[in-house]
Chains A and B, each alone.
Chain A
Amino acid sequence: MVGTIWAIIGASLAIIGGGIGSSIGITYAARTASGVLSEDPEKFGRLLVLAVLPGTQGIYGFITAILVGVFFGLLGGGTPDISAAKGIAIFMATLPVSVTTLVSGIYQGLTAASGVLLVAKKPEEAGKAFVLPALVETYAIFALVITILFLSALR
């Protein structure tokens, strides 16, 4: 049972970390976008894309939680019995995602907010404004790669 609790803590923290990172990140980008839209409502489509970019971190947290659930039987009926050692291992395997997504979500939001200003001044450069925040997301993706590999090995 102790192991199960550790596994649930891991899954929950992944969702919490990604969720916090994404919501703060989206807030930064969306707030700046609202300012631009007050002057220039026609840019809504392009700015919306920038505002949702930091949302991927929350998705990575979600994927991690789902993987823990699927791999270790937390989503079906009944509670599985996971040994304490394995539970702690699962918890550790989720850490890359829960910590990295929290930080990268916030910083991607800041980068996307600058991107919003770039689109405001030079709409034709929108493509560049989309690519630059993706540089920040790289590390959340690497974290997800490692978490998936570890979880898959522990299965």
Chain B
Amino acid sequence: MAVAKINKVELIASISDKEKIIKALEKVSILEIQTKEETLSPEKVKTHIHNKINHLTEKLSRVNFLLRLVNQISAPKQSLIDSFVPPKLIVKKKDFETILEGYPLDKIYKEMEALDVKFHQSRHNFIEADNNANLLNPWKKLDFNPNETETQKAQIFFATIPDFREEEFIDVLEEECPLCYSQVINRANGLSYLVVYVHKENLDVFNNLIRRYEFILISLPKVIGTVSKTIDDLKKKALHYKEEEGKVINRIKKINRYYSKLVISRSFLENELHKANVENNLTHTSDVFVVEGFIKAADYKKLRSAVAEQTNKYALTFEDVKAKDKPPVILENPRYLKPLEAVTALYGMPSYDELDPTPYLAPFFLIAFGLAIGDVIYGLALIGLSWLLTKSKRFSPNTKVFLGLFIYGGIAATFFGVITGSWLTFPHESLPRALQSIVLFDPIAQPALFLVITLLFGLVQIYLGVILKLVGIARDKSVSKALQSQLPILLLIPGVAILIAGFLGFPLSPIVYNIAVYLALAGILGVIIFSEYEAKSIVGRIGGGLYNLYSMTSYLGDTISYGRIMALGLATFLIGSTINTMFLGNVLFQSLLVKIVLGISLVPILHLLNLAVNTISAFVHPARLQYVEFFSKFFKGGGSRFQPIALKTDNIIIE
């Protein structure tokens, strides 16, 4: 139940054994190799590794190019489930390692690269021809070639103007440009298409007019022969290019059959590249290489035998680490707590010398999750669905551990469903008497009680946070410092909480009231006098203490924040019961038959949607309560996660 003990490792072995040793290290996956800014290695070794990296990078970029082409041009159809959780390819270890030998990657790449160029060319040509045809189309009635715009005495212009300005344009032209003549060729889509003949003496006048009235002149695409013939030609061309594009796509689609090989190659090359980069980070001499890294102290023997299996010429040393070495962090909890480690890891790892908050947040996270769903059938559904998903091959082992969180959450939800009488969100009155009798409280009838329960729950967790802080200071500094700084807070919280309860109308006996007053006073004085135990002057100490007292108001806000659990719990119930009332009650339909049909078709789907939406909230909000309200009391974090050299495969499973 803590952060695992880490050792520093130094391994020296012969360069000739390097490849197999690194492969063995990858296989056991227990060593994190330290990366360095700069390494000392002979130029020859460096060049060799760089060449290897370049070679792998080039192969990987070819594979990525092909996969991108598949996705963009000829993507195989995906089912809805596939788009949520991409299926995993299953491959044998031997096939994985020899994947590049199984198909002519470079040949395919060259072929596809050429086809890709062709595809873009055809597409470009199609768009160009199609656009030009569309541009010329309104000018179909022109009986001369619009590219020949100059005669001996006149120049020809083309204008497209909104039809409501057509009259204005013609009037202005008549009044101000006597040697101009305009002709409307076409009217379509709210535009008028005009040809204007301008005598060269009037060119300046005309250009001024165009600028002043902001009319837009256009130039037409290249025309050979008449406009209408050119349009026909362009349309034919566009069709041709479209067909050509289709043919190219069909040829590109041929790579679809290499799709799984490409996905596996990507994974293989990424791992090889990662290893080559690791190699680049090692120190070499002309004969030996040095691996420096971190390992879980308990894995010491495993590492030794993994190396010994490969060679007998090696030197391996282990050394204890200190927090200042910034070792990576491994959380070590019993198996049943593993799913909850995900909640801690999501926030970030504790530092090496800190305590692992997982066991402390576990019950609180699960209770909050359970209250936010709070229904027996929903809880059971969550357990069942999560369990089914853990059986699926689509998920990595890590994801399966994470799914355990939802199984636990489902159990908690079932429990709270029983004690709040929520069975598929049906109203209490409709439940059998036996189920009604085990109900402890009804959230709908007593929302205020529900709120108080969630706030008390929050108060308990915050209190635990302060206790953990006390333990932490006692361990790192001294018991006396821990008591000085945290004990007053531990007195103050219950004192003030009881007084607030009394203020809000909760009946308090005089004894309890007196005890609460004394606790609160002792807490306040304690915080003022003792909490700044490191201050040098008495003024600093009291001033700091007063400030600490003021910052304790944040505890009130933190507690209230737990009230969200009540709103989330009620939300799940109310939406569910609305589904029931609308489709199973008498609001929309009276016929029993209709209700039965809906009851087995639509209603379960709607309840599943309600469960899905509220499961997101029931995860996200309790997680926030841990991070913002709980962790802020004692947890620093900032450790880096242990990342051993290991085979990493996102989309494939290696058998």
Q: Do A134 and B624 touch across chains, with their CB atoms under 8 A apart?
A: yes
Q: In the complex, which of the residues A66, A134, A149 has the most CB atoms of chain B within 10 Å of its own CB atom? A: A134
| Chain B residues with CB below 8 A from A80, complex form | none
- Is residue B568 within 8 Å, beta carbon to beta carbon, of the partner chain? yes
Dominant secondary structure of chain A at its interface with chain B: helix
- Is residue A49 within 8 Å, beta carbon to beta carbon, of the partner chain? yes
Q: Do A56 and B613 touch across chains, with their CB atoms under 8 A apart?
A: yes
Give A34-83 interface residues, CB cut-off 8 Å to B.
41-42, 44-45, 48-49, 52-53, 55-56, 59-60, 62-63, 66-67, 75
Q: Which of A60, A128, A141 contacts B346 (CB 8 A)?
A: A128
Q: Do B621 and A41 touch across chains, with their CB atoms under 8 A apart?
A: no
Give the distance in Å from the alpha carbon of A75 to the alpha carbon of B628 in the complex. 40
Q: Do B346 and A127 touch across chains, with their CB atoms under 8 A apart?
A: yes
Q: Do A142 and B620 touch across chains, with their CB atoms under 8 A apart?
A: no
Give the distance in Å from the alpha carbon of A48 to the alpha carbon of B84 in the complex. 9
What mask results when residues 552 to 567 of chain B are scored 1 for a CB within 8 Å of chain A, else 0?
0000000011011011
Give the distance in Å from the alpha carbon of A134 to the alpha carbon of B567 in the complex. 14
- Is residue A29 within 8 Å, beta carbon to beta carbon, of the partner chain? no
Give the distance in Å from the alpha carbon of A45 to the alpha carbon of B81 in the complex. 9
Give the distance in Å from the alpha carbon of A48 to the alpha carbon of B85 in the complex. 12
Give A3-51 interface residues, CB cut-off 8 Å to B.
41-42, 44-45, 48-49
- Is residue B587 within 8 Å, beta carbon to beta carbon, of the partner chain? yes
- Is residue B86 within 8 Å, beta carbon to beta carbon, of the partner chain? yes
Within the complex, the shortest CB–CB distance from A50 to chain B, in Å, comes to 10
With both beta carbons as reference points, the residue of chain B lying nearest to A148 in the complex is identified as B447
- Is residue B627 within 8 Å, beta carbon to beta carbon, of the partner chain? yes
With contact pairs A138-B564, A142-B563 given, residues A149 and B451 touching in the complex (Cβ less than 8 Å) = yes
Q: Do B85 and A63 touch across chains, with their CB atoms under 8 A apart?
A: no
What mask results when residues 597 to 632 of chain B are scored 1 for a CB within 8 Å of chain A, else 0?
000000000000000010011011101100110000
- Is residue B570 within 8 Å, beta carbon to beta carbon, of the partner chain? yes
Size bracket, chain A contacts: 20 to 34
Q: Do B613 and A59 touch across chains, with their CB atoms under 8 A apart?
A: yes
Q: Do A134 and B563 touch across chains, with their CB atoms under 8 A apart?
A: no
Within the complex, the shortest CB–CB distance from A75 to chain B, in Å, comes to 7
Q: Do A63 and B574 touch across chains, with their CB atoms under 8 A apart?
A: yes
- Is residue B490 within 8 Å, beta carbon to beta carbon, of the partner chain? no
Give the distance in Å from the alpha carbon of A130 to the alpha carbon of B346 in the complex. 10
Within the complex, the shortest CB–CB distance from B627 to chain A, in Å, comes to 7
Within the complex, the shortest CB–CB distance from B637 to chain A, in Å, comes to 13
With contact pairs A131-B624, A138-B564, A152-B448 given, residues A144 and B84 touching in the complex (Cβ less than 8 Å) = no
| Chain A residues with CB below 8 A from B286, complex form | none
Give the distance in Å from the alpha carbon of A56 to the alpha carbon of B578 in the complex. 16
| Chain A residues with CB below 8 A from B566, complex form | 145, 148
Within the complex, the shortest CB–CB distance from A101 to chain B, in Å, comes to 12
| Chain A residues with CB below 8 A from B561, complex form | 138
Give the distance in Å from the alpha carbon of A75 to the alpha carbon of B578 in the complex. 11
Q: Do A131 and B627 touch across chains, with their CB atoms under 8 A apart?
A: yes
Q: Which of A41, A67, A149 contacts B574 (CB 8 A)?
A: A67
With both beta carbons as reference points, the residue of chain A lying nearest to B626 in the complex is identified as A131
Q: Do A141 and B574 touch across chains, with their CB atoms under 8 A apart?
A: no
Q: Do A145 and B620 touch across chains, with their CB atoms under 8 A apart?
A: no
| Chain B residues with CB below 8 A from A67, complex form | 574
Q: Which of A44, A52, A63, A128 contacts B83 (CB 8 A)?
A: A44
Give the distance in Å from the alpha carbon of A65 to the alpha carbon of B283 in the complex. 69
Q: Do A145 and B575 touch across chains, with their CB atoms under 8 A apart?
A: no
Q: Which of A62, A141, A152 contacts B568 (CB 8 A)?
A: A141
With contact pairs A52-B616, A134-B620 given, residues A41 and B451 touching in the complex (Cβ less than 8 Å) = no
What mask results when residues 475 to 503 of chain B are scored 1 for a CB within 8 Å of chain A, else 0?
00000000000000000000000000000
Q: Do B621 and A134 touch across chains, with their CB atoms under 8 A apart?
A: yes
Q: Do B570 and A141 touch across chains, with their CB atoms under 8 A apart?
A: no
With contact pairs A44-B83, A56-B617, A149-B447 given, residues A131 and B575 touching in the complex (Cβ less than 8 Å) = no
Give the distance in Å from the alpha carbon of A66 to the alpha carbon of B585 in the complex. 15
- Is residue B255 within 8 Å, beta carbon to beta carbon, of the partner chain? no
- Is residue A135 within 8 Å, beta carbon to beta carbon, of the partner chain? yes
Give the distance in Å from the alpha carbon of A135 to the alpha carbon of B566 in the complex. 17
What mask results when residues 133 to 155 of chain A are scored 1 for a CB within 8 Å of chain B, else 0?
01101100110110011001000
Q: Do A144 and B571 touch across chains, with their CB atoms under 8 A apart?
A: yes
Q: In the complex, which of the residues A128, A148, A149 has the most CB atoms of chain B within 10 Å of its own CB atom? A: A148
Give A111-142 interface residues, CB cut-off 8 Å to B.
127-128, 130-131, 134-135, 137-138, 141-142
Q: Which of A41, A62, A145 contacts B563 (CB 8 A)?
A: A145
- Is residue B71 within 8 Å, beta carbon to beta carbon, of the partner chain? yes
Q: Do A148 and B84 touch across chains, with their CB atoms under 8 A apart?
A: no
Q: Do A152 and B574 touch across chains, with their CB atoms under 8 A apart?
A: no
Q: Do A60 and B571 touch across chains, with their CB atoms under 8 A apart?
A: yes
Give the distance in Å from the alpha carbon of A145 to the alpha carbon of B562 in the complex. 11
With both beta carbons as reference points, the residue of chain A lying nearest to B561 in the complex is identified as A138
Within the complex, the shortest CB–CB distance from B609 to chain A, in Å, comes to 10
| Chain A residues with CB below 8 A from B567, complex form | 60, 141-142, 144-145, 148
Q: Do A41 and B571 touch across chains, with their CB atoms under 8 A apart?
A: no
Q: Do B578 and A41 touch across chains, with their CB atoms under 8 A apart?
A: no
Within the complex, the shortest CB–CB distance from B232 to chain A, in Å, comes to 36
| Chain A residues with CB below 8 A from B619, complex form | 130
Within the complex, the shortest CB–CB distance from A92 to chain B, in Å, comes to 18
Within the complex, the shortest CB–CB distance from B403 to chain A, in Å, comes to 14
With both beta carbons as reference points, the residue of chain A lying nearest to B402 in the complex is identified as A127
Q: Which of B571, B581, B587, B624 contacts A59 (CB 8 A)?
A: B571
Give the distance in Å from the alpha carbon of A129 to the alpha carbon of B581 in the complex. 36
| Chain B residues with CB below 8 A from A66, complex form | 574, 578
Give the distance in Å from the alpha carbon of A66 to the alpha carbon of B581 in the complex. 11
Q: Which of A45, A130, A135, A144 contacts B85 (CB 8 A)?
A: A45
With both beta carbons as reference points, the residue of chain A lying nearest to B80 in the complex is identified as A44
Give B194-218 interface residues, CB cut-off 8 Å to A.
none
With contact pairs A131-B620, A135-B624, A142-B564 given, residues A45 and B83 touching in the complex (Cβ less than 8 Å) = yes
| Chain A residues with CB below 8 A from B587, complex form | 75
With contact pairs A55-B613, A128-B346 given, residues A41 and B83 touching in the complex (Cβ less than 8 Å) = yes
Give the distance in Å from the alpha carbon of A144 to the alpha carbon of B563 in the complex. 10
Give the distance in Å from the alpha carbon of A62 to the alpha carbon of B570 in the complex. 12
Q: Do B71 and A131 touch across chains, with their CB atoms under 8 A apart?
A: no
Give the distance in Å from the alpha carbon of A128 to the alpha carbon of B347 in the complex. 7
| Chain A residues with CB below 8 A from B575, complex form | 59, 62-63
Within the complex, the shortest CB–CB distance from B296 to chain A, in Å, comes to 21
Q: Do A131 and B346 touch across chains, with their CB atoms under 8 A apart?
A: yes
Q: Do A41 and B613 touch across chains, with their CB atoms under 8 A apart?
A: no
Can you identify 10 A-B contacts, CB atoms within 8 angstroms? A53-B616, A53-B620, A56-B613, A63-B570, A130-B620, A131-B627, A134-B621, A138-B564, A149-B447, A152-B447
Q: A56-B617, A60-B567, A141-B568 are in contact. List 20 more A-B contacts (CB 8 A).
A: A41-B71, A42-B86, A45-B83, A45-B84, A56-B571, A59-B575, A62-B575, A62-B578, A66-B578, A130-B616, A130-B619, A131-B623, A131-B624, A135-B624, A137-B621, A141-B563, A141-B567, A142-B563, A142-B567, A144-B567
Residues of B within 8 A of A (CB): 71, 75, 78, 83-86, 342, 346, 447-448, 451, 560-561, 563-564, 566-568, 570-571, 574-575, 578, 581, 587, 613, 616-617, 619-621, 623-624, 627-628
* Nearest 8 interchain pairs by C-beta: A127-B346, A45-B84, A141-B564, A134-B620, A144-B567, A44-B83, A141-B567, A63-B574
